[in-house]
Amino acid sequence: MRLIAVRESVSEFYLGDTLGLKNVLRMVDPAFTLVPEKTDLRPFWPDKTDSGLLGLNISPLLERYRKGQDDLIYEIAHFIKFVVNTLDLSILLVPHVIESDGSTRNDDAAYMQAVLQQTGTMHGRVKMMDPRLNAAQIKYVVGHCRYFIGARTHSTIAALSSGVPTISIAYSIKAKGINKDLFGHLDYVLETPQLSAASLQDRMKLMIAGESSIKSHLERKMGTVHRQIETGVHRLKEMIHSTESAEN
């Protein structure tokens, strides 16, 4: 391959330093520049959001990395009750990956429906986003949340690029690399094997305590993010142009 563009530094280090490849370019996931598409929030927006709203994305993929541990659906439901009753925040469940063939194996909405069955709506304060929305519409929804916790990488990118304080639930190195590049640390990453109601509560409290500084940091960082994406696009254009010239 003439060019490998990777979206975070952990993968860049593995390819460049560990494997010794010289054709690696680090850029940023282009999803950071996705333009939100306005959509009507009223049909699924939770009640009583004057204290703010937590967007929550949970993926059935997480089950693969928690074998032999406590029931994840129970742990998530317990955390939701804590957020509503103790922190006085409402919650919007945000499915980000939906199976088009009707299967539930990798379907966020089907998985989180089981969570909702355990919690109930808690007097309208816990609801689920319309799963038929596209990626740009989901980003618009996520941008209206005060906080966000997500397992799907692109759900967290939607939040981070909208300036929303975010906890990334990591089941691969992607979340670690993205957070390391944005913040310089992994304080806002929760690894899947450690996922529980208690660990979610701890990370949630940390995020709330740092809310203003996180928002300010993300606002400053987005300029750099956009420049890195432009650099990657420019390199790709150069490669395509040189290939076309050689063929002609």
d(CA 6, CA 18): 15
Q: Which stretches of the chain are assigned E, i.e. beta strand?
A: 4-6, 24-26, 53-57, 90-93, 126-128, 147-150, 166-170, 189-191
Asked if 92 and 214 touch (Cβ cutoff 8 Å), the reply is no
Q: What is the pLDDT of residue 68?
A: 61
Kindly state which CATH superfamily the domain 34-240 is placed in.
Answer: Glycogen Phosphorylase B; (3.40.50.2000)
Q: What's the pTM value of the predicted model, to 2 decimals? A: 0.91
Quick one: DSSP state of residue 80?
A: H
Q: 208-212 — which CB contacts under 8 Å span 24+ positions?
A: 208/87, 208/147, 210/165, 211/147, 211/165
Question: Minimal CA–CA distance to 8: which of 137, 165, 181?
Answer: 181
Residue 228 confidence (pLDDT): 85
pLDDT of residue 93: 98
Three-state SS for 29?
coil
- Would you give per-residue pLDDT tens digits along the chain (248 residues)? 888 888 888 899 999 999 999 989 888 898 999 999 999 999 999 998 899 999 999 998 888 777 666 689 999 999 999 999 999 999 999 999 888 777 777 899 999 999 999 999 999 999 999 999 999 999 999 999 999 999 999 999 999 999 999 999 998 888 999 999 999 999 999 999 899 999 999 999 999 999 999 999 999 999 888 888 888 888 888 888 887 777 76
What are the residue ranges spanned by the domains of the chain?
Answer: 34-240
- Residue 78's nearest CA partner among 95, 97, 91, 61 is 91
Neighbour count for residue 200 (Cβ, 10 Å): 23
